[in-house]
Amino acid sequence: MSLKKNQHELFRQFFEKPTRAFLSQVLKENIGETDYLDFKAEWPKFEHVAKHILAMGNSGGGAIVLGVTEEQSGEFSSKGLEKLQDRADLNKKLRKFVPEQLNYELFNFSYDKAEPSLEGKNFQVIMVEYSEKILPLLALKEGSGIQSNVAYVRNGTESIPANREQLEQLINARIDTEYSSTPTLELTHHLEQLKTLCEYVDKLEYEDLLDSDSFMREIMEFAGDNDYRDFLYEIISSKKQVIRKIIH
């Protein structure tokens, strides 16, 4: 499974090899919740689960462990689940909100007398993979606590809507991946874009450009010629860097 995080070593081992032994160590170590690890005492609404899955998918991957309660002291108690969710039924409900491209997997863990502290207890864990090629991941449907066409990210132990800066980071992460995977196809596209941008700069020689092009002024929301020109130069510079990256 794919995970892109600097994470607790024990969790990294569990993510790579999700076994009862590793989960037992994670629970005993009490490493606490992070942006890549979330504990739930029981199954919340499926919409809430979907939101956490989307957020982890946009934030480097992670895991949701069900059957663990946070006590008032801040410590986590491994009480287990009274009832396990069926994989097929869970997937059917979650896929109403989660795109098919996002890979996640549900694991069941039951303990016997070999683990005295966990004997007779059952847990379920959702492992969420990470792939820059499918970013940003948007919710497919609106529901309780989740909005359609919104990208969620992890912020500490919370799953929240991505702000503009975070959304740009997600898009750039995907773009960088596409550049590295399809350089030949992308080069012509970016050269054409650079040519168009340079043509816009040439047009600024006309004093009435922005006044006559009210549509462009409204879209870009610039205060005047100087702002518009500065913006174009900034984008041209960025575009040149992209082209250099593809060539080299």
pLDDT in tens, 212-228: 444 444 444 444 456 65
What's the pLDDT score for residue 228?
59
How high is the mean pLDDT of the chain? 83
User: Which amino acid, 38?
Assistant: D
* pLDDT confidence bin for 241, thresholds 50/70/90: confident
Residue 132 lies in a domain: yes
pLDDT of residue 104 exceeding 70: yes
Summarize the confidence of residues 198-212 as an average pLDDT. Answer: 57
Straight-line distance from the first to the last Cα atom of the chain, in angstroms, rounded to the nearest whole number = 31
Indicate whether 195 and 156 sit together in one domain: no
Beta bridge partners of 146: 143
Summarize the confidence of residues 152-174 as an average pLDDT. Answer: 92
What's the pLDDT score for residue 110?
95
Indicate whether 98 and 192 sit together in one domain: no
Indicate whether 18 and 128 sit together in one domain: yes
Summarize the confidence of residues 85-92 as an average pLDDT. Answer: 96
Indicate whether 22 and 93 sit together in one domain: yes
pLDDT > 70: what percent of the chain?
Answer: 81
pLDDT of residue 59 exceeding 60: yes
Residue 170 lies in a domain: no
At 15, which CATH number? 3.30.950.30
Indicate whether 58 and 98 sit together in one domain: yes
**Contact assessment for residue 174 and residue 136, using Cβ atoms and an 8 Å cutoff:** yes
Of 14-18, 82-86, 243-247, the poorest mean pLDDT is in 243-247
Distance CA 114, CA 12 (A): 24
Domain count, the chain: 2
Indicate whether 156 and 187 sit together in one domain: no
SS3 content of the chain, % helix, strand, coil (to 5): 50, 15, 35
* pLDDT confidence bin for 204, thresholds 50/70/90: low
Radius of gyration of the chain (CA): 24
What's the pLDDT score for residue 208?
45
pLDDT of residue 210 exceeding 60: no
pLDDT of residue 150 exceeding 80: yes
Of residues 226, 222, 233, the one with CA closest to residue 200 = 233
**Contact assessment for residue 108 and residue 49, using Cβ atoms and an 8 Å cutoff:** no
Residue 176 lies in a domain: no
Place of tokens 């032994």: 21
pLDDT > 90: what percent of the chain?
Answer: 48
Indicate whether 151 and 198 sit together in one domain: no
Neighbouring residues of 239: CB distance < 8 A, sequence distance ≥ 6:
190, 193, 194, 197
What's the pLDDT score for residue 151?
94
Helices 20-29 and 9-16, axial angle in degrees (round to 10)? 160
pLDDT digit string, tens, across residues 115-141: 999 999 999 999 999 999 899 999 999
Q: Which domain holds residue 44?
A: 9-161
What's the pLDDT score for residue 221?
46
What's the pLDDT score for residue 5?
52
Residue ranges of alpha helices (H) inside 140-182 are 164-181
pLDDT digit string, tens, across residues 27-41: 888 777 889 999 999
* pLDDT confidence bin for 180, thresholds 50/70/90: low
Run of H or E including 19: none
Last residue of one domain, picked from the residues 130, 161, 192: 161
Indicate whether 150 and 219 sit together in one domain: no
Indicate whether 146 and 188 sit together in one domain: no
